[in-house]
Amino acid sequence: MNSSIVVMPGDGVGPEITAAALAVLDAVASRYGHTFRLTEVAIGGDAIDKHGVPLRPEDLRVCRKADAILLGAVGGPQWDNIEVGLRPERGLLALRKGLGLFANLRPVAVHPDLASTSPIKSEIVSGVDLVVVRELTGGIYFGKPTRQWADSRGRLAVDTMKYREQEVERVVRLAFELARTRRKQVASVDKSNVLSTSRLWREIVNEIAPEFPDVTLEHVLVDAMAMRLVRQPGRFDVIVMENMFGDILTDEASVIAGSIGLLPSASLGAQKGSGSGRRIGLYEPIHGSAPSMAGQGKANPTGTILSLAMLLRSSLGLTEEAEAVDKAVSSAIANGVRTYDISEPGTSPVSTSDFGAAVASRI
Ligand SMILES: NC(=O)c1ccc[n+]([C@@H]2O[C@H](COP(=O)([O-])OP(=O)(O)OC[C@H]3O[C@@H](n4cnc5c(N)ncnc54)[C@H](O)[C@@H]3O)[C@@H](O)[C@H]2O)c1
């Protein structure tokens, strides 16, 4: 296969963790005889320093033409005081919007040897293997009107949560399709006892469910899900929800794994050509640029390497190669290869690049 991947290292630890993932991609290319054409593009603070803006329009066009994008992280204190519209994170927002990425996937899988690093009891987190699918481009973060004003009784403010059926349908269908490739369970999260948007959400989920008779569906209210995610996370497979609920619950779910450095994500858009199953996607670890760790080889590149596995699977259709990457990460951890954040006291952690090399050597 000959595919094009845009690489956006970004800021802070971004360049180190993407370099570690690219070492793994190199190993995949040699082992399976693929050619991956890589184009490096600046984003975030890096782009502000080089070009004066967090993402240039011409670079967005380069991203649109690529098969997939692998990103490190953006941001850092040196760009905190510039005008809001030009901050590093604006580059990410422009990228998500420009590529029409409507679904954010965050898998949380706990490696058996790392269950003790979670702040939640090992017996609860052992064997957890779930994916949260969050609607990314609708809901209260984008609804109009949104404003604050004052009247004779004092200050007041309004935000608007709005969903069109098509926005719900496409993300819910994606969640069911994903469940089909896994343990065939979908939990749909809403607040249908209070919100009209949630009642529409539930209605549409119930309409789509019969198309997937092999997938089990349950509806869970968002407040109940907040509890169940930490009490019985092992019960869930694919969990789908609207934007703001997803923003909050994905952060809660990330705690289960023990270190933020372990977790990947994918933001997906429409399928490329009908029936191909392949989607344009942006793949990045869930963490930020960890400025205080930058340049020291201390960052855990696992989240970025597992994001690369998601890229191979969802945007390039390379299932076997994706599984090889997942297994190589698991085998490195099982053999005691640990970065600083997940090492046991008294053991010697490896650097970011050595972890990447350890995974690459197992492909
Ligand atoms: N998607 C993104 O690019 C993204 C996401 C969140 C925050 N940010 C930006 O990143 C900067 C730092 O933000 P923050 O400190 O709130 O969040 P952060 O995720 O960068 O760091 C939070 C904590 O996790 C640790 N950590 C992060 N990545 C790690 C890794 N790979 N291995 C081991 N430990 C790791 C950090 O050292 C820190 O203690 C800010 O400028 C923020 O705006 C960017």
Q: Whose CA is nearest to atom 22 of ligand 1?
A: 290
Whether 190 has a pLDDT exceeding 90, the answer reads yes
The pick from 90, 263, 283, 287 for probing ligand 1's pocket by mutation, whose C-beta has the most ligand atoms within 8 angstroms, reads 287
Largest CA distance in the chain: 71
Q: Whose CA is nearest to atom 15 of ligand 1?
A: 290
Whether 58 has a pLDDT exceeding 90, the answer reads yes
For residue range 264-310, what is the model confidence (pLDDT) as tens digits?
999 999 887 766 678 889 999 999 999 999 999 999 999 999 999 99
For residue range 113-169, what is the model confidence (pLDDT) as tens digits?
999 889 999 999 999 999 999 999 999 999 999 999 999 999 999 999 999 999 999
Whether 362 has a pLDDT exceeding 90, the answer reads yes
Active site residues: 141, 191, 223, 247, 251
Q: Which residues line ligand 1 (CB under 6 A)?
A: 13, 17, 73-76, 89, 92, 259-261, 284, 287-293, 299-300, 341
> Distance, CA 142 to ligand 1 centroid (Å)?
25
- Tell me the one-letter amino acid at 347: T
Question: Percent of the chain, pLDDT > 90?
Answer: 91
Residue indicated by tokens 């970025």: 304
> Distance, CA 97 to ligand 1 centroid (Å)?
22
Give CA 186 to chain center in angstroms.
18
Question: According to the model, what pLDDT value does residue 275 have?
Answer: 64
Nearest-atom number in ligand 1 for the CA of 73 is: 3
Whether 339 has a pLDDT exceeding 80, the answer reads yes
Q: Whose CA is nearest to atom 42 of ligand 1?
A: 75
Which parts of 112-256 fold into alpha helices (H)?
122-125, 165-180, 196-208, 222-231, 243-255
For residue range 141-151, what is the model confidence (pLDDT) as tens digits?
999 999 999 99
Whether 75 has a pLDDT exceeding 80, the answer reads yes
Query: Rounded to a whole number, what is the distance in angstroms from the first to the last CA of the chain?
Result: 17
Question: According to the model, what pLDDT value does residue 198 have?
Answer: 98
> Distance, CA 148 to ligand 1 centroid (Å)?
31
Whether 85 has a pLDDT exceeding 90, the answer reads no
Nearest-atom number in ligand 1 for the CA of 80 is: 41
Can 1-111+259-363 and 129-255 be said to share one CATH topology? yes
Nearest-atom number in ligand 1 for the CA of 300 is: 32
Question: According to the model, what pLDDT value does residue 264 have?
Answer: 97
The token pair at 121 is 């009891």
For residue range 303-324, what is the model confidence (pLDDT) as tens digits?
999 999 999 999 999 999 999 9
d(CA 313, CA 268): 12
Q: Where are the domains of the chain?
A: 1-111+259-363, 129-255
Sign of the C-alpha dihedral, residues 119, 124, 128, 131?
negative
Q: What is the mean pLDDT of residues 330-338?
A: 95
> Distance, CA 329 to ligand 1 centroid (Å)?
21
Q: Burial of 164 by CB count in 10 Å (0-12 exposed, 13-18 middle, 19+ buried)?
A: exposed
> Distance, CA 259 to ligand 1 centroid (Å)?
11
Sign of the C-alpha dihedral, residues 16, 93, 97, 135?
positive
Eight-state DSSP code of residue 234:
G
Q: Whose CA is nearest to atom 36 of ligand 1?
A: 290
Q: Whose CA is nearest to atom 4 of ligand 1?
A: 288
Q: Whose CA is nearest to atom 39 of ligand 1?
A: 290
Q: What is the mean pLDDT of residues 249-263?
A: 92
The answer regarding whether domain 129-255 maps to CATH 3.40.718.10 reads yes
Question: According to the model, what pLDDT value does residue 40 have?
Answer: 98
Q: What is the mean pLDDT of residues 53-62?
A: 97
Q: Whose CA is nearest to atom 30 of ligand 1?
A: 261
**Average pLDDT over all residues of the chain:** 95
Question: Percent of the chain, pLDDT > 70?
Answer: 99
Question: According to the model, what pLDDT value does residue 84 have?
Answer: 83
Give 1-111+259-363's CATH code, choosing from 3.20.20.100, 3.20.20.10, 2.130.10.10, 3.40.718.10. 3.40.718.10
> Distance, CA 287 to ligand 1 centroid (Å)?
5
Q: Are strands 264-271 and 103-109 parallel, antiparallel or unpaired?
A: antiparallel
> Distance, CA 83 to ligand 1 centroid (Å)?
21
The pick from 82, 260, 267 for probing ligand 1's pocket by mutation, whose C-beta has the most ligand atoms within 8 angstroms, reads 260
pTM of this structure: 0.94
Nearest-atom number in ligand 1 for the CA of 292 is: 37
Question: According to the model, what pLDDT value does residue 217 have?
Answer: 98
